[in-house]
């Protein structure tokens, strides 16, 4: 019996599994490479000290003091089943004009070998009360018009369609 999957804070102990997942995302032919994958240098992060620094930076992004220029504070959570990293989700604490058009409050990614097992649906459900505690009463969540899986994740979590632009479907998802 494995451990029930759930959110954990980013942690150095998940380094090997996280890096294996990054390699899977890079090889994924079904979806574009997620932002967080493009944001890391896997070769450099195989060094435990560098990985610890990465984890510290991601945790630091939860406060105004730790964000880089142009970013708003964001809470990144990892979805894990014991020692196995399965996916990640990030909650931006507030919107900017750019995030209203692209990105929204919440983004999530499930590693290719863990897909179609309900993880993304469960992750978004688990994130809604966290978002609420962060002061987000309704979360803007969006997906590419072609991303059927993400669309289902949002709709299963109560997403109410706002509009469909050329590329995106945008939803409000109530957090309470
Ligand atoms: C989109 C993504 C997060 C879905 O993760 P997942 O854990 O496989 O999703 P779930 O298992 O919760 O499946 C959600 C629903 O989509 C369906 N689904 C999953 N993959 C699918 C696919 N490739 N084609 C069609 N439907 C699919 C599931 O059957 C399920 O439907 P149901 O609600 O009727 O049961 C994952 O594919 C992913 O990480 N993609 C790359 C990054 C990305 O697109 N992130 C979202 C950005 S908005």
Residues 6+ apart with CB under 8 A from 132: 175, 176
Residues of the chain above pLDDT 70, percent: 99
Ligand 1: list residues with CB < 6 Å: 31, 34, 107-110, 115-121, 143, 147-150, 152-153, 156
User: Ligand 1 pocket test: which of 29, 79, 111, 116 has the largest number of ligand atoms within 8 Å of its C-beta?
Assistant: 116
Residues facing 169 on adjacent strands: 143, 164
| Structural domains of the chain, ranges and CATH numbers in brackets | 6-174 (3.40.630.30)
**pLDDT above 60 (res 82):** yes
Task: Assess whether pLDDT exceeds 70 at residue 143.
Answer: yes
Question: Which pTM does this prediction carry?
Answer: 0.97
Dihedrals φ, ψ of 49, to 5°? Answer: -70, -40
Q: Which atom number of ligand 1 is nearest to the Cα of residue 87?
A: 39
Q: What share of the chain in percent tops pLDDT 90?
A: 97
**Rounded-to-integer distance, Cα 81 and Cα 37, Å:** 20
pLDDT tens-digit series, residues 34-79: 999 999 999 999 999 999 999 999 999 999 999 999 999 999 999 9
Instruction: Quote the CA–CA distance of 129 and 134 in Å, as a whole number.
Output: 9
| Helix, strand and coil in the chain, % to nearest 5 | 40, 25, 35
Average pLDDT for residues 94-118, to the nearest whole number? 97
Q: Whose CA is nearest to atom 34 of ligand 1?
A: 152
What is the band of 27 on the pLDDT scale with cuts at 50, 70, 90?
very high
Hey, whose CA ends up nearest to atom 16 of ligand 1? 149
């Amino acid at each position: 019996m494995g451990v029930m999957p759930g959110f954990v804070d980013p942690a150095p102990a998940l380094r090997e599994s996280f890096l294996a997942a990054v390699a899977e995302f890079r090889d994924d032919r079904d979806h574009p490479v997620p932002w967080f994958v493009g944001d890391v240098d896997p070769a450099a992060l195989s060094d435990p000290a560098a990985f610890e620094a990465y984890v510290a930076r991601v945790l630091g992004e939860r406060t105004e003091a730790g964000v880089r220029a142009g970013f708003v504070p964001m809470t990144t959570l990892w979805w894990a089943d014991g020692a196995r990293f399965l996916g990640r989700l990030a909650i931006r604490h507030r919107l900017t004009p750019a995030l209203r058009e692209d990105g929204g409050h919440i983004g999530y990614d499930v590693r290719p070998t863990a897909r179609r097992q309900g993880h993304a649906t469960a992750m978004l459900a688990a994130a809604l009360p966290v978002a609420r505690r962060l002061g987000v009463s309704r979360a803007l969540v969006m997906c590419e018009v072609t991303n059927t899986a993400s669309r289902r994740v949002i709709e299963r979590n109560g997403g109410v369609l706002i509009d469909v632009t050329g590329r995106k479907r945008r939803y409000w998802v109530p957090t309470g």
